[in-house]
A and B are shown apart, each in its own frame.
Chain A
Amino acid sequence: MDWINNLIAGLSAGQQLALFSLLKILAAIFLVLLPIVAYTVLVERKVSAFIQDRVGPNRTAPPFIKYLPVIGPLLQRLGIFQPLADGLKLFLKEDFSPSHVRTIYFWLAPVLAMVPALLTIAVIPFGSKLGAEKMVIADLNVGILYTFGIVSLSVYGIVLAGYAANSKYPFLGGIRSSAQMISYEIAMGLSVIPVFMMVGDLNLGAVIDYQAKHGWFILYAPVSFAMFLVAAFAETNRLPFDMPESESELVAGYNTEYSSMKFGLFFMGEYAAMVAVSGMMVTLFFGGWTLPFWGLDQPATSLLLSAAHIGVFLGKTLGLLLLFIWVRWMLPRFRYDQLMDLGWKRFIPLGLANIVVTALVLLLLNRN
Chain B
Amino acid sequence: MDGQLQQYLPVLILAVVAIAFAVGNLVASYLIGQWINRRRLKSIPAAKNIPYECGMLPIGAGNNRLSVKFYLVAMLFILFDIEVVFLYPWAVVYREMLAENAGLIFGSMFSFIAILFVGYIYAIKTQAFDWKV
Contacts and interface: CB of A to CB of B under 8 A. Distances in A.
Interface of A: 14, 17-18, 21-22, 24-26, 29, 90-100, 107, 110-111, 114-115, 118-119, 122, 137-141, 144-146, 163, 165-168, 171, 175, 178-179, 182-183, 185-186, 189-190, 193-194, 196-198, 200-202, 257, 260-262, 264-265, 336-337, 340-341, 344-345, 348-349, 352, 355-356, 359-360, 362-363, 366-367
A198 B91 CA distance: 8
Between A163, A345, A355, the greatest number of chain B beta carbons within 10 A of the residue's beta carbon is seen for A355
B22 to A, nearest CB: 4
Contacts of A29: 17-18, 21
Contacts of B70: 175, 178-179
B77 A182 contact: yes
Contacts of B15: 115, 119
Contacts of B8: 138, 140
B19 to A, nearest CB: 6
A277 B110 CA distance: 30
A29 B19 CA distance: 12
Nearest to A167: B62
A92 B32 contact: yes
A340 B50 contact: no
A272 to B, nearest CB: 10
A167 B93 CA distance: 49
B14 A119 contact: yes
B17 A25 contact: yes
B80 interface: yes
B87 A355 contact: yes
Contact of B18 (A21, A22, A114, A171): A114
A292 B29 CA distance: 47
Given A167-B58, A179-B70, A186 B84 contact: yes
B120 interface: yes
A261 B26 contact: yes
B35 to A, nearest CB: 10
A182 to B, nearest CB: 4
A201 B18 CA distance: 28
A189 B26 CA distance: 33
Contacts of A182: 73-74, 77, 81
B98 A362 contact: yes
Given A196-B88, A345-B129, A362-B94, A93 B10 contact: no
B109 A264 contact: no
A209 to B, nearest CB: 15
A287 B126 CA distance: 42
A171 B62 contact: yes
Contacts of B54: none
A138 B73 contact: no
A352 B113 contact: yes
Given A92-B36, A261-B29, A26 B88 contact: no
Output the residue of B32, B63, B93 with the most chain A CB within 10 A: B63
Contacts of B120: 348-349
Given A111-B19, A171-B64, A262-B29, A193 B87 contact: yes
A17 B132 CA distance: 55
14 contacts: A14-B9, A21-B9, A25-B13, A29-B18, A29-B21, A91-B29, A122-B14, A183-B73, A190-B84, A196-B88, A198-B95, A200-B95, A344-B76, A363-B102
Contact of A363 (B23, B33, B64, B106): B106
Given A185-B81, A352-B117, A115 B22 contact: yes
Given A17-B9, A98-B50, A182-B81, 11 more contacts: A18-B10, A26-B17, A90-B29, A95-B30, A118-B17, A138-B14, A145-B85, A146-B11, A165-B62, A168-B63, A336-B131
